[in-house]
Amino acid sequence: MVKVADGTLILHTEPAIYSPMRGPFSSLHARASCHATEVLDRVKQAMLNTVGEMELETKHTTGHHGNEIVVVEAHITDARAMRHLFESLPKNDREQLSNTLPERLDDSCNLFLRVDKQSAYDGRVVLARSDDVIVIRLKVNAYPAKKEIAVQKTAEFISGLDQGE
C-alpha cells in the first residue's frame, strides 16, 4: 500500500500475468527459412509440428548470391500452443534450456530457442545442434520487466513441467 499526500491509500499489486496453463509467456514468434534445395511443404510441416496447427505466413526473398529463399513465419498468442512447445521438448533439452536461460534471454525479456528443423519435420521437437533451424522467440511477461525476473519465471515454469511428469 502507498499513502498519498491527501491521506488516500492505494493498494499496489503485481498484475496477474502468470498462470500455470499460459506460463509466463504472452506471445511466440517462429521463423524458418526454406532454401532452393528444400521442399516448402516439408518446411511448413516442420513448423506445424513445432507450433501446432495454424496459418503460416510466407515471404519470398533473395539470398546474397541471388538464390530464392522463402521465409515461413508463425505468430502465436495461444497459451496451450506455447505450453505444448515446452512439453514437446525432451526432458534433457528442458534441463539444458533451464541451465542456459541467462544466455537465451535478452534485456527486453525475449527468450530465444532454436529447434532442429529436420527433427521437427520427423515429428520430434528438439533443441538444435546444427544451423538448419526453426528460430523461436517468446515474449516473457515479467513485472517489472527485468531479465532476472524473466529468467526466474521461465525457470519456475520449466520446473513445473518436469514436476508434472
pLDDT digits (tens, 9 = 90+) for 107-162: 999 999 999 999 999 999 999 999 999 999 999 998 889 999 999 999 999 999 87
- Domain range for 80: 27-163
Number of independent structural domains in the chain: 1
Q: Is the pLDDT of residue 6 over 70?
A: no
Per residue in 48-94, pLDDT (tens digit) is 999 988 899 999 999 888 999 999 999 999 888 899 999 999 999 99
The pLDDT value recorded for residue 21 is 52
Residue 6 resides in a domain: no
| pLDDT band of 22, cuts 50, 70, 90 | low
Residue 22 resides in a domain: no
CATH code assigned at 145: 3.30.1440.10
Residue 81 resides in a domain: yes
Cα dihedral 51, 97, 111, 25 sign:
positive
**Average pLDDT along the chain:** 87
